[in-house]
Amino acid sequence: TMADAFCPQPITIPAILSYCGSALDVGLNYSLLAINVVGFGALYRRLSSEASKRTPSLGIVLISFGFVIAFQIVLCLIVECVGISIIWCAIFGWILVEVACGRGIGGAASNDTEPDRQAETSNTSPTCVGYGILSSRCSCIAVVSTILCVDLAAILYYYLTAPAITTVAHICAILMGVILEVVAARGCSIGCSRRRFFN
């Protein structure tokens, strides 16, 4: 969201993170951030429990998350915008890749090796392995689908109520999340395996 007349000049980090005092934007976006973090955490732990060799290490996940946070703040300092929507949109993009590949929700990607498929097949429990409420018995597909629908509804809301640049930023952030997941899942370009990277 672009800074408005209520924001200090020059823009500050507290103003960025607080949406310059907009209670609606704070409530909406921090709720979306919490939902996406919890949903991603549940999905990641399930992927880890399946022992898939394509699951990025926790170190890479945290570095990616830190990069997105830093990118959000630096971008807003440069172009004088406010908010944290780039962060939850990037997580949304990461989750989208996992869903598209069928990982963590009872399916196996087509490029799995036989040991990967056996490991995933052996874990057929419908229980989501996650935090808090997501640690109870539930359908992982339903949980992930709900998160994606909530994210899309929020993006649509800002499409209807905010300048077009906001929607462009949301789409670019989703693409950034997709790219970060693909890079993390494929390993670094010089051929080092993720299992040797931060493990």
In this structure, what DSSP letter does residue 134 have? G
**Measured at the alpha carbon of residue 104, what is the angle toward residues 43 and 27, in degrees to the nearest 5?**
25
Digit-coded pLDDT (tens) for 30-62: 999 999 999 898 888 877 776 555 677 888 889
Determine which helix (DSSP H) or strand (DSSP E) holds 95, and give its type and residue range.
helix 85-101
In this structure, what DSSP letter does residue 137 have? B
Any residues with CB less than 8 A from the CB of 96 and at least 6 apart, and which?
Answer: 148, 174, 177, 178
Mean pLDDT of 169-175: 96
Residue 51 confidence (pLDDT): 52
| Residue linked to tokens 């930023």 | 169
d(CA 88, CA 54): 23
User: How many other CB atoms sit within 10 Å of the CB of residue 117?
Assistant: 13
Tell me which of 11 and 45 has the higher pLDDT: 11
CA distances in angstroms from 136 to 7, 88, 139, 145, 149, listed in the order given = 42, 24, 10, 17, 21
Which tokens go with 100?
């598209």
Q: Is this prediction's pTM over 0.95?
A: no
d(CA 106, CA 100): 12
d(CA 77, CA 82): 9
Digit-coded pLDDT (tens) for 89-120: 999 999 988 877 766 555 444 444 444 444 44
Q: Cβ(167)–Cβ(158) under 8 Å?
A: yes
Residue 124 confidence (pLDDT): 43
Residue 73 confidence (pLDDT): 96
Which tokens go with 13?
């980090």
Residue 85 confidence (pLDDT): 96
